Structure 1
Amino acid sequence: MDLKTVYLKKRIVTRDEEGDKTISYSRDAEPLRMNVQSAGGVVNAQIYGGRLPYIKTCKYQGESLVPGKNEKDGICLYVDPGADPDYEILSIEPFSDHLNLKLEKLIKET
């Protein structure tokens, strides 16, 4: 299994002066090693539709990610750990000796 080093950035939700949510990410970037693959298959195509090209499936072994806690946190997959994350954790599913993750590419609004 090919392992890639990615960087976890915690999601921070604040409110601006008008009460709207503002999403940012921690400056600290925690390195994680995981297997990263492009998502595919009929089931994923039915779930994600046109978003499928932006979805990654990952396998992770370690203590840094917790189901129910780290969903929506950011992952620096193809960007420098000092940058804003380019992916967001959609789901974390426990499976025997590892966690299965789904990541979705964050599309920057222009």
Structure 2
Amino acid sequence: MRLMKRDLTTVYLKRIDPNNTQDEEGNDQVIYLAPIALEMNVQSASGTVNATIYGSKLSSMKSCKYQGDELKEGRDENNGICLYVDKDSDPDYKIKSIQPYSTHINVMLERNDDIGS
């Protein structure tokens, strides 16, 4: 399967810095590394299987298809994606799951409701 260029959207991957620090109260401070541009096919998440897995959260999720080498299963879950915000902002979505196939990767994104709190 080849993704059509006209259907691709530029998003920015922001990996979480593995050397995160804690503030004076012991809370983890999430620090993101430099953004990496990715081309993905982004759609609203739907389907009975996804509805069974994610339930009421499905309305705040996106289903993406990606071809490339930047995303890896087991490494990039919980990293941020800047979809509707500027690449220099905090990510508005986080990677929920990565499912590799022979020609592409399916990525589920969950809206990051922690922004601004």
1:109, 1:47 → 2: CA distance? Answer: 27
Partner of 2:21: 14
Deviation for aligned residue 1:18? 2.9
1:64, 1:32 → 2: CA distance? Answer: 8
The answer to whether structure 1 residue 5 and structure 2 residue 10 are counterparts is yes
TM-score, normalised by the number of residues in structure 2? 0.86
1:14, 1:98 → 2: CA distance? Answer: 35
1:109, 1:30 → 2: CA distance? Answer: 23
Partner of 1:38: 44
Partner of 2:102: 96
Paired residue for 1:25, among 21, 26, 32? 32
1:61, 1:35 → 2: CA distance? Answer: 9
2:98, 2:49 → 1: CA distance? Answer: 17
1:95, 1:48 → 2: CA distance? Answer: 21
TM-score, normalised by the number of residues in structure 1? 0.91
Change (3 A) 1:47 1:109: farther
1:48, 1:102 → 2: CA distance? Answer: 10
Unaligned runs of 5+ in 2: none
Superposition RMSD in Å: 1.4
